[in-house]
Amino acid sequence: MVNFDDLLAQGTISRFLTTEKEKRTLYLEFHKESYKEDIATAKLLQDRSHRWSVTAAYYAMLNVTKLYLAKHHNLSINERSHLTTRIALEHVLKEEQAKKKAIGLLREAEAAFESFTPGSRQPTILSNMLGAAKQKREKASYYAYPPPQRRKEDLDSFFKSVVEPFLAILEGML
């Protein structure tokens, strides 16, 4: 499996140069606006479209992660965005300073996420939550899952157990 250092060497992940202040600012603004728009859209669509609500919620999680990575670790995700973002997030959370800040917030989210996906543990819990959201988005986008009679309950559980705790953690780390 590809790792953070490989992705950095390949240019799939890059660090903003000190001369790229405008580029970094635009990247930060784009992902901040995108995640806020995505979560607002997801909430708006909760009662209208299970599929698009899940999709928008997942993209809110992906965009707030990219915002965090850029703002606090000066990282830009350039290609293969979904997997690369998870790998970068897991890498930076293993760094001591980020882990210390995140650990308190992780404990709060762990109980909620554990009820959604038993067996997941920190410090990879954020990466696992993002991965679970991506799987949920894929199922909602490409398959008739869950059955119509369970969609409201499923969506509520997804928001309470994955989306809201994840966003609270990343927003707390911004």
What residue ranges define each of the domains in the chain, with the CATH number in brackets?
4-173 (1.20.120.330)
- pLDDT higher than threshold 70 for residue 19: yes
62 vs 120, higher pLDDT: 62
The two tokens of residue 90 are 């897991």
What radius of gyration do the chain's Cα atoms show? 16
Distances from the Cα of 23 to the Cαs of 20, 30, 67, in angstroms?
A: 5, 11, 13
Q: In terms of pTM, does the model score above 0.85?
A: no
Chain-centroid distance, C-alpha 75: 15
DSSP 149: G
Query: For position 14, what pLDDT does the model report?
Result: 96
Largest Cα–Cα distance in the chain? Answer: 54
Distances from the Cα of 25 to the Cαs of 12, 20, 31, 171, in angstroms?
A: 19, 9, 10, 18
Give the mean model confidence (pLDDT) for residues 78-94: 89
Span 36-57, pLDDT tens digits: 999 999 999 999 999 999 999 9
Alpha-carbon span 94 to 60, nearest angstrom? 23
8 vs 152, higher pLDDT: 8
- pLDDT higher than threshold 90 for residue 79: no
The verdict on whether omega for the bond into residue 123 sits within 30 degrees of 0, i.e. cis, is yes
Span 92-141, pLDDT tens digits: 988 766 667 676 676 666 666 665 555 545 557 788 889 889 998 988 88
Query: For position 125, what pLDDT does the model report?
Result: 79
